[in-house]
Amino acid sequence: MNVPFKIVKLTGEFIQQVLNDPIPTHRHDHEELIIVTHGKPVHMLDYVRQQLQSPVIAYVAQGKVHNFLPDAETRGWVIRYKNELVPDSRFNFYSNFLEQVNYPLQADYCSTTLESLCEIMLSEYQQETINYLVIKHLLSALLSKLETDTRQEYLDSQASNRSQMVTFNSFLKILEFNFMRSEGADFYADKLNMSTRNLNLITQSVFGKSVTDIIETRKLIEARTLLLNSGKSVSEIGYELGYNEKSYFTRVFRKRTGVTPTEYREQMMTAIS
C-alpha cells in the first residue's frame, strides 16, 4: 500500500464485485481492520480458516497472509492503515499471542458510534486533498473506542479483576522479550514472583489459555513469520526459537498447524506468488 490510509465501505454493489472476481490470497504491508456489521464471511489468516459471526471486528497485522471471502449478505467496512499512522494499538500487541484477533461486538454497536466514525473517515478520505492528520485523529478515536468497548471471551476486563489484568499484561511483556529462549512456565512465574499455578489461573481467567499454550502460540506465530519472510532453514528457525532439535520443532509445528514447516513455507509461497 503506497498511501498511509484507505477505507472501503462494504456495500451490496462492492460485495457483488468481490463475489464475481474474488480477491486472491495476499500478504499485508499494512494493518487492517475488517468490521463486519452483517453476514457470515469466511476469513483466512495464515491458512487458519474461520467463519465470522457478525457483528465482529477482525484485525490483520502487517506481514500476515490472509483472504476475506464474503457471502452475499456481508456488509461493513475495511480500514487499512500503516502502522506508523497509529502505532502501538492493543490490536497489534495481542496479535503476537493469538492466531486470530477477532472482537465480537454488541448487536446495536455498529449502528451508532462505530458507523458514525467510519462515515466521517470515508468523507475525509474522499476529499480531493486528504488531510492525513485529521484521518489520524479519527482513526485513533475509533481504535480507542473499540479497545474500550470490544468484548471477547479471552480479553474481557469485566471477567477479571484489575490486578489480574496487570499481572497478565506484565507476563506478555516479559514473554515478548524472552519467547525465543527455551524457557517454560516456571521461568515466567519466577519473574513475576508468583507460583506457576497462580500464573496459570490468571492466564486461564483472562485469556482462556495456559501459560505453556501462550508461549507455544507466540513461538508458532514467529515461526510462521520467519518461514515466510526469511531465507533461514527450518533447522535455523527452530534453533532460534529455542528448539534444540529440528525433529522436535517439526513435530510441534505439525501438531499445531497440520503441516510441517517445510510444507507450510511451500504452500504460502505458492499462494502469494
pLDDT tens for 157-174 read: 444 567 888 899 899 999
Residue 53 burial (CB count, 10 A): 12
Are the C-beta atoms of 99 and 46 separated by less than 8 Å?
yes
State which of 149-153, 154-158, 250-254 shows the largest mean pLDDT: 250-254
Candidates 208, 149, 213, 155; CA nearest to 179 is: 213
- Sole residue written with cell 463475489: 19
Q: Which residues pair with 60 in a beta bridge?
A: 32
Question: Does position 106 have pLDDT exceeding 80, yes or no?
Answer: no
pLDDT over 90, % of the chain: 53
Residue environment code for 241-267, b if the CB has 16+ CB neighbours within 10 A, otherwise e: bebeebeebbebbeeebeeebeebbee
Ordered structural domains, the chain, with CATH: 5-149 (2.60.120.280), 158-272 (1.10.10.60)
pLDDT of residue 90: 74
Question: In 3-state terms, what secondary structure has residue 230?
Answer: coil
pLDDT of residue 38: 93
Average pLDDT estimate for 125-143:
92
Decide which of 205 and 260 is more confident.
Answer: 260
pLDDT of residue 151: 45
Average pLDDT estimate for 242-257:
91
Are the C-beta atoms of 24 and 67 separated by less than 8 Å?
yes
φ, ψ for residue 190, nearest 5 deg:
-65, -40
pLDDT tens for 193-221 read: 999 999 999 998 888 889 999 999 999 99
Question: Does position 148 have pLDDT exceeding 70, yes or no?
Answer: no
pLDDT over 70, % of the chain: 93
